[in-house]
């Protein structure tokens, strides 16, 4: 069967040769195919694959930018950044994580529960990712750590920055910052680029209002990673930009004084420059420690805040709504005079109450004030007199005046926690409650009870606009370099330089582009006189809290807003405010301007459940006014334009 003859070999060779030729042709085709594929990948589509390779190997982390600073009017820091000391641990570099924790426990404050949570967290993440063991170490802990660092393999002491509030008197106005929540990310578009570990955002107050600009621009850290995500080397960095620094109109010294004056009570104080609307002070009591929120508030502390009946987290100056009480009488009187429906000389005898269609309307003074004219009624805050004024005036006219002076609308912009309050009128009641207005309700409205609701800042603005002669001002809390020169201030400067000038109001308005809120400025002056009498003449409601020194002398109006109406039985028994339970006591109001001779500032004081304005609110105002006037000189010489450039 085996054949070695040459013809057999020759025929085999031919077959093999022919078939090998086919194979070679096939090889050539495949060769072209492979080179074609290489061309496609490495020449034609190379750019695409290069970018894919870079996408594979580069990762970027954002670096949190330092947050902008908030200063007071004099450049003192109200909210600043503080160096903090943290401890990070890289599990990969640690020979034994359990031993490390035991060792760390002896050096820093670390509870077993925290260790348990940390271990759980570490187990979830990659071993080369560092875990934050403690984000706010004390200096002594930090130095101790550094001393023993050679024994703590894998532990990294890190110096970082975080928000710091040196002083908590401005806690409500400034607000606080805290970690970004899922809700924040959804609602605030500007956070899209800023969701970085270590970035805290403003939750309330100015921190929230100015958040977008104070956050700054994040920096970048670009590094190369391997297929498992481990960092191999840093490639490049780009520094971020610090957020904008803001100067406020607040005066830290006055904030402290106001806070001190409200120390034992729940309430609010607002102080405003009556010419340029600068909010010199805005304090709410009780306050909270904003630093507690920066690193996450502790459960016990949060529970304590939540359980406090005086609601420390609420900024009562702009978010607290209270009936304005007798302080509205300034506007009731003004409105009546402006509308020419009431003769201020008209005297009415107050017997302590009036009968109105069978219903009894009481004066706060049980035995009555006797005969009074309008000025006397303001001075002594007679309710019966104002029932009559209100009856003649009608609620709609009163509401118009109240709205003109800033009630029922937000005073500031951007403060999301601010409330607008209510200025009731007939239409409002029909729309909101769906019922017709009763005349009896007009009488209540005339003395600031019933549906009326306002914030302390609104009443401060109202007082300021009366005190400055009845001109509109735009309150502000942040100093803006680009603010237009204040017309009222210009007019004031003009008057100072030309003391003998006797311009008419019309001319003032024309020359200085002022916005008057009155028809006849005499009416404003009448109200101011009455307020002076209320504070500085015997029998006035706040006479007891007056300043004898002319420099500090103020003119004000007390008020109290009813929580619960007295029953006839309580009236007969002559129950005093101090006798009823705290929660049912009236809120005490006091609004004033000072100094009397040349008014510069307006103040409003609210003391929750303080009883009467004269006993609870006026003494607070007395203390604050003194400090405000003392600080006036310093404030006046601070040229804000100059400071503005320093920002």
Partner 1 sequence: MLYSRNSLYSSFTIKDRFFNLDFILLFSILLLGVISIFAQYSSDGGKWESHSINHAIRFLVFFSFFMSISFINVRLWNRFSFLIFLIFILLLVAVKFIGLQSQGSRRWINLFVFVLQPSELMKIGIILFLANYYHRTSSSDINKIKYLLIPVVAIFIPFVMVVSQPDLGTALLILFSGIVVTWLAGVRWKIFAYLSLLTVVLAPVAISFLKPYQKSRILSFINPDLDPLGAGYQIIQSKIAIGSGGFFGKGFLNGSQAYLDFLPEKHTDFIFTLYAEEFGFFGSVLMVLLYFLITYRIVHIGNLTRSIFGKLFCYGFSTAFFIYVTVNMSMVLGLLPIVGAPLPILSYGGSSMLAIMFGLGIVMSCNIYKNDAVG
Within its chain, how far is the Cα of 169 from the centroid? Answer: 13
Q: Which two tokens stand for residue 538?
A: 């015997």
Q: How many other C-beta atoms are found inside a 10 Å radius of the C-beta of residue 515?
A: 13
Nearer CB in complex with partner 1: 56/343 = 56
Question: Which region, judged by CB under 8 A, interacts with partner 1, from 34-42, 271-279, 378-386, 467-475?
Answer: 34-42
What tokens appear for 433 in the block? 């409650």
| CB closer to partner 1 out of 35 and 439 | 35
Residue 24 or 83 with smaller CB distance to partner 1: 24
In angstroms, what is the minimal distance from the CB of 14 to partner 1?
9
Give the one residue of 195, 226, 234, 343 binding partner 1; rule: CB under 8 A.
Answer: 226
Span of 43-51, 95-103, 253-261, 491-499 interacting with partner 1 by CB under 8 A: 43-51
Residue in 238, 407, 347, 323 with CA at minimum distance from that of residue 588:
323
The token duo for 43 is 């020449």
50 lines the binding site for partner 1 (CB under 8 A): yes
For the four alpha carbons of 280, 284, 289 and 293, in that order, the dihedral sign comes to negative
Nearest-approach distance from CB 226 to partner 1, in angstroms: 4
Q: State the minimum distance, in angstroms, from the CB of residue 476 to partner 1.
A: 55
For residue 60, state whether it binds partner 1 (rule: CB under 8 A).
no
Which 3 state secondary structure label does DSSP give 60? strand
234 binding partner 1? (CB under 8 A)? no
Which structure tokens are listed for 631?
């600080």
| Sole window of 11-19, 349-357, 394-402, 532-540 interacting with partner 1 (rule: CB under 8 A) | 11-19
From residue 480, alpha-carbon distances to 160, 247, 483, 611, 641 in Å are 30, 8, 5, 40, 9
Q: Is 15 in the site for partner 1 (CB under 8 A)?
A: yes
Stretch that binds partner 1, among 21-29, 327-335, 560-568, 574-582 (CB under 8 A): 21-29
Closest CA relative to residue 246, chosen from 79, 81, 83: 79
Three-class SS of residue 198? coil
- Can you give 71-93 as a three-state secondary structure string? ECCCCCEEEEEEEEEEEEECHHH
Footprint of partner 1 on 321-350 (CB under 8 A): none
- Binding string, 179-218, against partner 1, x = CB under 8 A? ----------------------------------------
CB 463 within 8 A of CB 591: yes
Which window, 39-47, 204-212, 358-366, 561-569, contacts partner 1 (CB under 8 A)? 39-47
Measured from the Cβ of residue 511, the count of other Cβ atoms closer than 10 Å reads 13
Tell me if 35 contacts partner 1 by CB under 8 A: yes
Residue 29 in contact with partner 1, rule: CB under 8 A: no
- Counting Cβ atoms within 10 Å, is residue 299 exposed (0-12), middle (13-18) or buried (19+)? exposed
37 binds partner 1 (CB under 8 A): yes
Told to check if 53 binds partner 1 by CB under 8 A, we report yes
CA-CA distance, 98 to 94, in Å (whole number)? 9
Span from 14-22, 315-323, 355-363, 621-629 in contact with partner 1 (CB under 8 A):
14-22
In whole angstroms, the minimum distance from the beta carbon of 105 to partner 1 comes to 37
* Nearest-5° Cα angle at 586, 583 to 588: 120
- In 499-609, alpha helices (H): 505-512, 521-536, 568-572
CA neighbor of 531 nearest in space, from 419, 618, 457 = 618
Say how many residues touch partner 1, by CB under 8 A. 43
Between 23 and 637, whose beta carbon lies closer to partner 1? 23
Of the listed pieces 46-54, 72-80, 160-168, 454-462, which binds partner 1 according to CB under 8 A?
A: 46-54
The smaller minimum CB distance to partner 1, of residues 56 and 578, is found at 56
Q: Which stretch binds partner 1 (CB under 8 A): 9-17, 118-126, 243-251, 587-595?
A: 9-17
Q: How far is the CB of 12 from partner 1 (least distance, A)?
A: 5
Smallest gap from Cβ 16 to partner 1, in A, equals 5
Element (H, E) at 224: strand 219-225
Residues 510-539 that bind partner 1 (CB under 8 A): none
Which of 106, 186, 228, 431 is the binder for partner 1 (CB under 8 A)? 228
What are the phi and psi torsion angles at 479 (to 5°)? -75, 125
Tally of helices (H runs) and strands (E runs) in the chain: 26, 20
Indicate the pairing of strand 200-202 with strand 58-63. unpaired
286 contacts 315 by C-beta, under 8 angstroms: no
CB 421 within 8 A of CB 402: no
CA-wise closest residue to 323 among 621, 566, 593, 589: 589
Residue among 15 and 83 whose Cβ is closer to partner 1: 15
When binding is defined by CB under 8 A, the residue of 70, 75, 224, 277 that contacts partner 1 is 224
Residue 271 in contact with residue 624, Cβ under 8 Å? Answer: yes
Determine if 25 is a binding residue for partner 1 (CB under 8 A): no
For partner 1, which residue of 25, 42, 308, 413 counts as binding (CB under 8 A)?
Answer: 42
309 contributes a contact to partner 1 by CB under 8 A:
no
Contact between 16 and partner 1 per CB under 8 A: yes
- Binding footprint of partner 1 on the chain (CB under 8 A): 1-4, 8-9, 11-13, 15-17, 19-20, 23-24, 27, 30-31, 33-35, 37-39, 41-43, 45-46, 48-50, 52-53, 56-57, 224-228, 232
């Amino acid at each position: 069967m085996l054949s070695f003859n040459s013809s057999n070999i020759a025929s085999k060779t031919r077959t093999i040769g022919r078939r090998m030729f086919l194979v070679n042709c096939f090889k050539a085709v495949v060769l072209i195919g492979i080179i074609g594929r290489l061309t496609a990948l490495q020449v034609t589509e190379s750019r695409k694959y290069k970018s894919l390779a870079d996408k594979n190997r580069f990762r970027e982390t954002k670096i949190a930018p330092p947050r902008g600073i908030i200063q007071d009017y004099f450049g003192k820091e109200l909210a600043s950044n503080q160096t903090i000391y943290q401890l990070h641990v890289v599990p990969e570099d640690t020979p034994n994580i359990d031993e490390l924790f035991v060792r760390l426990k002896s050096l820093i404050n670390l509870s077993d529960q925290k260790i348990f949570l940390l271990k759980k967290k570490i187990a979830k993440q990659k071993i080369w990712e560092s875990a934050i063991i403690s984000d706010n170490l004390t200096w002594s802990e930090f130095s101790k750590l550094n001393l023993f660092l050679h024994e703590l393999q894998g532990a990294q002491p890190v110096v970082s920055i975080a928000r710091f509030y040196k002083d908590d008197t401005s806690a409500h106005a400034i607000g606080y910052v805290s970690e970004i929540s899922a809700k924040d990310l959804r609602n605030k578009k500007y956070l899209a680029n800023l969701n970085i570990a270590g970035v805290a955002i403003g939750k309330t107050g100015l921190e929230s209002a100015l958040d977008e600009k104070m956050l700054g621009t994040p920096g970048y850290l670009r590094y190369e990673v391997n297929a498992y995500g481990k960092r191999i080397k840093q490639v490049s960095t780009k520094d971020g930009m610090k957020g904008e620094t803001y100067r406020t109109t607040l005066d830290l010294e006055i904030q402290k004084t106001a806070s001190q004056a409200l120390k034992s009570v729940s309430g609010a104080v607002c102080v405003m420059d009556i010419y340029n609307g600068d909010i010199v002070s805005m304090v709410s009591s009780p306050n909270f420690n904003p630093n507690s929120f920066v690193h996450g508030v502790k459960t016990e502390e949060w529970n304590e805040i939540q359980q406090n009946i005086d609601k420390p987290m609420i900024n009562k100056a702009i978010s607290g709504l209270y009936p304005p009480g007798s302080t509205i009488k300034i506007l009731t009187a003004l409105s009546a005079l402006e509308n020419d429906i009431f003769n201020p000389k008209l005297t009415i005898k107050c017997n302590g109450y009036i009968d109105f269609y069978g219903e009894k309307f009481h004066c706060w003074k049980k035995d009555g004030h006797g005969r009074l004219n309008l000025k006397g009624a303001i001075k002594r805050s007679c309710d019966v007199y104002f029932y009559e004024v209100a009856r003649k005036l009608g609620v709609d006219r009163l509401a118009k005046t109240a709205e003109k002076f800033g009630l029922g609308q937000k005073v500031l912009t951007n403060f999301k926690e601010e409330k607008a309050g209510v200025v009731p009128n007939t239409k409002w009641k029909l729309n909101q409650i769906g019922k017709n207005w009763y005349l009896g309700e007009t009488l209540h409205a005339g003395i600031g009870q019933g549906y009326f609701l306002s914030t302390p800042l609104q009443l401060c603005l109202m007082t300021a606009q009366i005190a400055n002669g009845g001109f509109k001002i735009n309150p502000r809390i942040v100093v803006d370099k680009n603010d237009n020169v204040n017309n009222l201030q210009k007019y004031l400067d003009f008057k100072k330089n030309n003391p003998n000038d006797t311009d008419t109001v019309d001319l003032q308005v024309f020359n200085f582009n002022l916005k008057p809120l009155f028809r006849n400025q005499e009416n404003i002056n009448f109200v101011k006189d009455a307020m002076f009498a209320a504070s500085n003449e015997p029998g006035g409601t706040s006479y007891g809290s007056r300043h004898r020194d002319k420099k500090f002398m103020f003119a004000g109006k007390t008020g109290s807003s009813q929580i619960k109406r007295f029953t006839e039985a309580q009236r007969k028994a002559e129950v005093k405010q101090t006798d009823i339970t705290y929660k049912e006591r009236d809120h005490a109001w006091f609004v004033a301007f000072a100094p009397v001779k040349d008014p510069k500032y307006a103040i409003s004081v609210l003391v929750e459940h303080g009883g009467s304005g004269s006993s609870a609110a006026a003494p607070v105002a007395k203390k604050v006014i003194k400090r405000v006037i003392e600080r006036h000189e310093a404030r006046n010489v601070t040229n804000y334009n100059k400071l503005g450039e320093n920002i």
